[in-house]
């Protein structure tokens, strides 16, 4: 059975001043020039390919890393590739103050953990949360712990639907558990 | 207790109790996929469901509008993959000649007031212009919708926005929209449904409502409607704006809410213009541009690209003499579709190029390496005549 928590090393998507980059849109995550690509295993190389100073992200990230990003992450297009590219790189989860509505759904439906914390912006601004920190986030209790700093903070617990789809490892499997009328 | 419009529509499509924040399973009246997203839907469907049929082929459609006709081998392959799937399942394809899917769904009477429509287009919430709950979704969602006719949805809170006053005669629905976007930003409407009401919006034409509702996406909202508010319903928040005397507006690079009076950028050199998109691709948008361009020529060295939203709009341009005026002014008029907003069939901007566009997004790199300003058809047309940003009243 899948875990009810996720852990990994944090990568903070910050600007030169150390603040979270807000409103990162799907064209910065996965540019429309690559929309014709339909194979998930070919998408990782384009992750953040149009985000200034982060174009080398596919080389910098490691499987299991957890992305910490600014509010309204994934605004813009409905492209599933903007989620799939992180799955391809085996990113463990994305944590943000908020997501674009379609982006959030797309991630939920893929069974990919997208988590929200209203405390995030302040934690990053105060450098309490930094790249390289080890985090564990619990989906149901809504607790997050930074083990190398003995720091705890709150995330929004997953909704029932999000957690059930996550446990089923995606919307398709989840739907197959239904009695279809 | 009354219900907001989004709550009413969702309630009529679910047995679950509807309240803001609650996740319900909702029946979908129409599910669609484009030539972007569509090929992924086909692959997902065949991988997950094999030769199973779609839930209801009469409620399932493909709408090709992104790269039409295909200008790359990959898009040609992808479109053909969708056509093959459609033939096998008896699904109708609105093919590469038809134009922007969301507009086609309105013209064909498939997106109706009170119905639910999903598709692989983040601006499908444009259907709020006809009080239809349209929603853009990714290919996993749409694959699931093809198969089950259902989707899960978190009932959004509703923000009501009263827009008082009368805009100046030089301003249009796009200027009104940009101004509202400036005021609401990407936070106030985030993840909410929006009900616009008041003097400045109640008499907007369908084209004007399309312009306004399309850019609720850029406000980070779920959907926008132009409607009478229900005083007994529970709204999350209320905003009152006054647009009396509003003059033409412009969104400077590189975010749509980065909005100013056009006069603040007057004289900025531009190299190209684009009139079209799901936001400003209706007949009256081109008629407005034609009124500016009639008897005038686009400045030498400036390129103006014009893309009607649909084949039906294209026909209007022909029959109403608008095409003749645009052509004579030097504009490039292409077949209908989504070209101009993303990599599609009418090209991108090059490094150093400054474009003025009637589209809805000017994020860095979206239309190429150049910079994009967003404005009304009248402002784009006027700017292309002089090669600099200018309002139509100053021409």
**Assigned superfamily of B5-154:** Aconitase, domain 3 (3.30.499.10)
Sketch out chain A's domains with CATH numbers: 5-176 (3.20.19.10)
Give the integer Cα–Cα distance in Å for B51 and B89.
9
CB contact under 8 Å between A109 and B138, yes or no, is yes
**In this predicted structure, what is the pLDDT of residue A181?**
46
Considering only CB atoms, which chain A residues are within 8 Å of B138? 78-80, 83, 102, 105-106, 109
- A120 near A95, Cβ under 8 Å? yes
Q: What is the enclosing helix (H) or strand (E) of B103?
A: helix B101-107
Residue B185, both tokens: 């930003």
pLDDT digits (tens, 9 = 90+) for B76-85: 999 999 999 9
**In this predicted structure, what is the pLDDT of residue B221?**
95
Architecture of domain B249-394: 2-Layer Sandwich (3.30)
Cα torsion for B290, B291, B292, B298, to the nearest 10°?
Answer: 30
Q: Which of B:239-298 have CB within 8 Å of A? A: 255
**In this predicted structure, what is the pLDDT of residue A179?**
58
CB contact under 8 Å between B37 and A79, yes or no, is yes
Query: How many other C-beta atoms are found inside a 10 Å radius of the C-beta of residue B262?
Result: 28
- What is the Cβ-side half-sphere exposure of residue A145, based on CA atoms within 13 angstroms? 9
Give the integer Cα–Cα distance in Å for B118 and B38.
12
Distance of residue B297 Cα from the nearest chain A Cα, in angstroms: 33
Query: How many other C-beta atoms are found inside a 10 Å radius of the C-beta of residue B345?
Result: 22
Residue B181, both tokens: 């976007």
Give the integer Cα–Cα distance in Å for A151 and A125.
15
pLDDT digits (tens, 9 = 90+) for B135-182: 999 999 999 999 999 999 999 999 999 999 999 999 999 999 999 999
Q: CATH class for domain B158-242? A: alpha beta
Residue recorded with tokens 């390496």: B369
**In this predicted structure, what is the pLDDT of residue A56?**
97
CB contact under 8 Å between A80 and B365, yes or no, is no
ipTM given for this complex: 0.90
Give the integer Cα–Cα distance in Å for B376 and B357.
8
DSSP 3-state assignment of B79?
helix
A23 touching chain B per CB within 8 A: yes
Q: Which of B:219-238 have CB within 8 Å of A? A: 220, 222
**In the predicted structure, residue B344 carries a pLDDT above the cut 80:** no
Full 3-state SS string of B333-392: ECCCCCCCCCCCCCCCECCCCEEEECCCCCECCCCECCEEEECCHHHHHHHHHHCECCCH
Distance of residue B144 Cα from the nearest chain A Cα, in angstroms: 7
- A24 near A111, Cβ under 8 Å? no
pLDDT digits (tens, 9 = 90+) for B266-319: 999 999 999 999 999 999 999 999 999 999 999 999 999 999 999 999 999 999
A159 touching chain B per CB within 8 A: yes
Domain boundaries, chain B: 5-154, 158-242, 249-394
Mutation site for B-interface testing, chosen from A21, A23, A36, A54 by largest number of B Cβ within 10 Å = A36
| Pairing assessment for the beta strands A143-146 and A134-138 based on DSSP bridges | antiparallel
**In this predicted structure, what is the pLDDT of residue A3?**
76
Residue recorded with tokens 């509202």: B180
Q: Is the fold of B5-154 the same as that of B249-394?
A: yes
């Amino acid at each position: 059975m899948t875990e009810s928590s996720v852990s990994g090393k944090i990568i903070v998507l910050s600007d030169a001043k150390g603040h979270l980059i807000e409103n990162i849109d799907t064209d910065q995550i996965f540019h429309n020039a690559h929309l014709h690509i339909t194979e998930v295993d070919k998408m990782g190389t384009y992750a953040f390919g149009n985000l200034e100073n982060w174009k080398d992200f596919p080389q910098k990230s490691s499987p299991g890393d957890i992305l910490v990003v600014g509010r309204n992450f994934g605004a813009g297009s409905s492209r599933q590739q903007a989620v799939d590219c992180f799955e391809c790189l085996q990113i463990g989860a994305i944590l943000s103050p908020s997501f674009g509505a379609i982006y959030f759904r797309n991630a939920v439906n893929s069974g990919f953990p997208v988590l929200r914390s209203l405390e995030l912006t302040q934690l990053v601004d105060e450098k309490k949360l930094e790249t390289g920190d080890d985090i564990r986030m619990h989906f149901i209790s809504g607790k997050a712990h930074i083990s190398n700093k003995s720091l705890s903070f709150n995330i929004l617990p997953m909704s029932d639907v999000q957690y059930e789809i996550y446990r089923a490892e995606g919307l398709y499997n989840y739907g197959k558990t239904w009695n279809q009328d | 207790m009354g219900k907001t419009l989004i709550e009413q529509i969702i309630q009529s499509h679910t047995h679950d109790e509807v309240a803001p924040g609650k996740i319900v399973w909702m029946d979908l009246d129409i599910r669609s996929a484009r030539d972007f997203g569509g090929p992924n839907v086909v692959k997902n469907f065949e991988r997950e469901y094999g030769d199973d049929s779609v839930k209801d082929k009469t409620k399932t459609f493909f709408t090709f509008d992104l790269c039409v006709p295909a200008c790359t081998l990959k898009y040609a392959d992808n479109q053909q993959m969708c056509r093959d799937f459609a033939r096998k399942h008896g699904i109708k394809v609105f093919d590469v000649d038809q134009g922007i899917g969301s507009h086609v769904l309105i013209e064909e009477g498939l997106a109706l007031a009170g119905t639910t429509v999903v598709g692989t287009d983040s601006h499908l919430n444009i259907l709020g212009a006809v009080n239809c709950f349209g929603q853009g979704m990714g290919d996993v969602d749409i694959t699931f919708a093809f198969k089950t006719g259902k989707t899960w949805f978190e009932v959004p809170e509703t923000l009501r926005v009263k827009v008082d006053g009368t805009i100046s005669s030089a301003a249009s629905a796009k200027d009104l929209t940009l101004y509202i976007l400036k005021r609401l930003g990407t936070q106030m409407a985030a993840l909410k449904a929006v009900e616009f009401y008041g003097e400045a919006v109640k008499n907007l034409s369908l084209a004007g409502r399309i312009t306004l509702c399309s850019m609720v996406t850029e406000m980070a909202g779920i959907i926008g409607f132009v409607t009478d508010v229900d005083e007994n319903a529970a709204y999350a928040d209320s905003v009152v704006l006054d647009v009396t005397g509003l003059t033409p507006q412009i969104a400077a690079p590189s975010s749509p809410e980065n909005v100013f009076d056009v006069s603040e950028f007057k004289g900025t050199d531009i190299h190209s213009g684009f009139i079209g998109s799901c936001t400003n691709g209706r007949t009256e948008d081109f008629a407005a541009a034609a009124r500016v361009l009639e008897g005038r020529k686009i400045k030498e060295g400036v390129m103006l690209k014009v893309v009607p939203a649909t084949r039906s709009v294209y026909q209007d341009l022909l029959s109403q003499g608008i095409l003749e005026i645009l052509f004579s002014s030097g504009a490039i008029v292409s077949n209908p579709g989504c070209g101009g907003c993303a990599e599609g069939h009418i090209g991108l901007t090059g490094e150093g190029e400054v474009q003025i566009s009637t589209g809805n997004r000017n994020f860095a790199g979206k239309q190429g390496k150049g910079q994009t300003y967003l404005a009304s058809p009248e402002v784009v047309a006027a700017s292309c005549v002089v090669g600099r940003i200018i309002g139509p009243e100053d021409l």
